[in-house]
Amino acid sequence: MGKIFIALLCVALAASCARAGEEFLADPAMEPSKFRGLEWRRSLSSVPDMVELYRDDDGRSITCSRKNDDLSFGDAALSSIEYIFIDGKLSRISLVAKGKKNEDALLGEAAAMFGRATVQSGEDYLWRFTNVSVMFSREPNEQSVLFYKYIGFLNK
């Protein structure tokens, strides 16, 4: 349930920023074009070390983990990293940290990588770039998620 909420919140924040105009974009030099060597829109079939975790009912969205993935992000120890492929293409990534120390470290690493957030609402932060949005959300059950989403299709 939490992941669905985060995904919907990320889409809503990204869409509102897209309509707001260029002045609300994060520094373009900081935009992530890939994550751990995987470029956005890379095909699932071209990544041999992915393990399918689950897929939605119609099979369009497949969530995977990566064999032997390093479950750290800067100083944050992660409980999981999930790679979401939509129509066979890498479209989203979620990094989950549990415990205040790891959650704070996850947010600190994101801020160091992406600069000042374009939108902040309470414990949620959004960095909206041209083709990617990155959102940090602290959930009430003592876990936080850093969620990358490819949004380049909005610009076409």
What is the CATH classification number for the domain harbouring 123? 3.40.1000
Q: Domain range for residue 93?
A: 2-155
| Number of domains forming the structure of the chain | 1
Residue 61 neighbours by CB under 8 Å, 6+ apart: 55, 84, 85, 86
Q: How far apart are CA 122 and CA 2, in angstroms?
A: 17
Burial grade of 140 (CB within 10 A; 0-12, 13-18, 19 or more): exposed
- Supply the mean pLDDT for the chain: 85
Phi and psi angles of residue 139, each rounded to the nearest 5 degrees, phi first: -90, 155
Locate tokens 């975790």: which residue? 53
The pTM for the full model equals 0.81
Residues 35-82: tens digit of each pLDDT: 999 999 999 999 989 999 999 988 899 999 999 999 999 999 999 999
